Amino acid sequence: MTTIAVIADIHGNLWALEAVLDDIKSRGITTIINLGDHVYGPIAPAATIERVMSTPMINISGNEDRCLLLPPEQAGEFSSYHLTRSQLNPEQLTWLESLPKTAIVGDIFCCHGTPDSDSTYMLETVTEHGVSLTSTERIRTYLKGISYPVILCGHTHIPRTVWLPDGRLVMNPGSVGVPAYDDITPYPHIMEAGSPHARYAILEKNGTDWNVEHIALKYDWSQAAAACRQNGRNDWAYWVETGRAYDD
Ligand SMILES: [Mn+2]
């Protein structure tokens, strides 16, 4: 039996990451796959990247790792670019730059968004009417040529396991550190896990069967929210301590 912990979208939330790593350790799991967007945001980028770099994991990069490598004049759409980048040293930036965009671990294919794009949502589709589960046909198009039985993705912060009729499983573990957010492209939309818990998932291969366990962990989210407020980001603070995008 193979057991693997899958984490994604830590976004600098050191407190959530510590809770997740403790939980993984307490279960005796030693293989961790980390799907990117490690530190971007106003929480605790410097301490988080130290923790990520010193933890044995298979890491890939996300769109908001890549954005930290842009020159400032090209980073206008990323509101936490300056705050995050100013806390990283050259060695840490070089490490981010060295990360692959995809990885293959045994018979598992790993990407941040889709196999071809770290900034495309795979399992959620955004239209002018809102967010919904992506159609089977469209997921199959994203995964054309990827014949691995398990495909992992992150990026949308929504935990989901999706089964394709040919038997492939596509799984997003949700976000370790940021359970809700809003965005304006391709249409204004929000993503909401619905609770502030740190999310990750456990993948277990038993013979030829794969099981998925989605985990939601309590941790001290008030500390992460306080860090957001200290950095002037009440929006991030609300996301982190409620798992909702707006106060409704
Ligand atoms: Mn992302």
Q: What is the pLDDT of residues 196-213, one digit of tens each?
A: 999 999 999 999 999 999
Q: Domain residues of the chain, as ranges?
A: 2-242
Q: Which of 130, 181, 188, 128 is nearest to 154 (CA)?
A: 181
| Residue 166, pLDDT score | 96
Flag whether pLDDT at 1 surpasses 90. Answer: no
Q: Which residues of 36-128 form beta strands (DSSP E)?
A: 58-59, 102-105, 108-111, 124-127
Distance of CA 123 from the midpoint of ligand 1 (Å): 13
126 CA distance to ligand 1 centroid (A)? Answer: 15
Q: Which amino acid, one-letter code, is at 86?
A: S
- pLDDT tens for each residue of 208-236: 999 999 999 999 999 999 999 999 999 99
How far apart, in whole angstroms, are the C-alpha atoms of residue 10 and residue 38?
A: 5
pTM value?
0.97
User: pLDDT tens for residues 144-163?
Assistant: 999 999 999 999 999 999 99
The CATH number that domain 2-242 falls under is: 3.60.21.10
The model's confidence at residue 105, banded by pLDDT at 50, 70 and 90, is: very high
Ligand 1 centre distance from Cα of residue 119 (Å): 6
Q: Is 106 left (phi over 0), alpha (psi -120 to 50) or beta?
A: left
Q: What angle do CA 231, 51, 64 make, to 5 degrees?
A: 55
Cα gap 134→122, rounded to integer Å: 7
Whole-number Å distance, alpha carbon 64 to ligand 1 midpoint, is: 6
Query: How many A from CA of 37 to the centre of ligand 1?
Result: 5
What is residue 201's predicted lDDT score, i.e. its pLDDT? 99
| Across 174-192, average pLDDT | 96
Task: Quote the ligand 1 centre to 206 CA distance (angstroms).
Answer: 30
The confidence score (pLDDT) of residue 38 equals 98
Q: How far apart are CA 206 and CA 198, in angstroms?
A: 26
pLDDT tens column, 15-52: 999 999 999 999 999 999 999 999 999 999 999 999 99
H helical segments located in the chain? 14-26, 45-53, 63-66, 81-85, 90-98, 136-142, 221-230, 234-242
Q: What 3-state DSSP class applies to 222?
A: helix
The CA 165 to ligand 1 mean position distance, Å, reads 27
Cβ neighbors of 103 (< 8 A, separation 6 or more) are 33, 58, 60, 109, 110
Angle at 132 between CA 102 and CA 150, to 5 degrees: 35
Cα of 61 from ligand 1 centre, angstroms: 9
Which two three-digit tokens encode residue 130?
Answer: 């809102």
Secondary structure class of 138 (helix, strand, coil): helix
Ligand 1 centroid to residue 31 C-alpha, Å? 22
Reported as a pLDDT band with limits 50, 70 and 90, residue 89 is very high
Neighbours of ion ligand 1 (CB under 5 A): 37, 62-63, 155
How far is CA 207 from each of CA 28, 161, 204, rounded to the nearest angstrom?
A: 20, 19, 10
What is the mean predicted confidence (pLDDT) over 183-207? Answer: 96
Q: Over range 125-147, report the average pLDDT.
A: 97
Contacts of 46-53 with CB under 8 Å at 24 or more apart are: 46/87, 46/88, 46/92, 47/14, 48/10, 48/12, 48/13, 48/14, 48/17, 49/88, 49/92, 49/95, 49/96, 50/92, 51/14, 51/17, 51/18, 51/21, 52/10, 52/17, 53/92, 53/95
CB atoms within 10 A of CB 190: 14
The yes-or-no verdict on residue 61 having pLDDT over 90 is yes
List of residues 6+ apart from 128 with CB closer than 8 A: 187
pLDDT at 247: 78
Average pLDDT on 182-205 reads 97
Tell me what pLDDT residue 28 has. Answer: 98
State yes or no: pLDDT of 248 exceeds 80. no
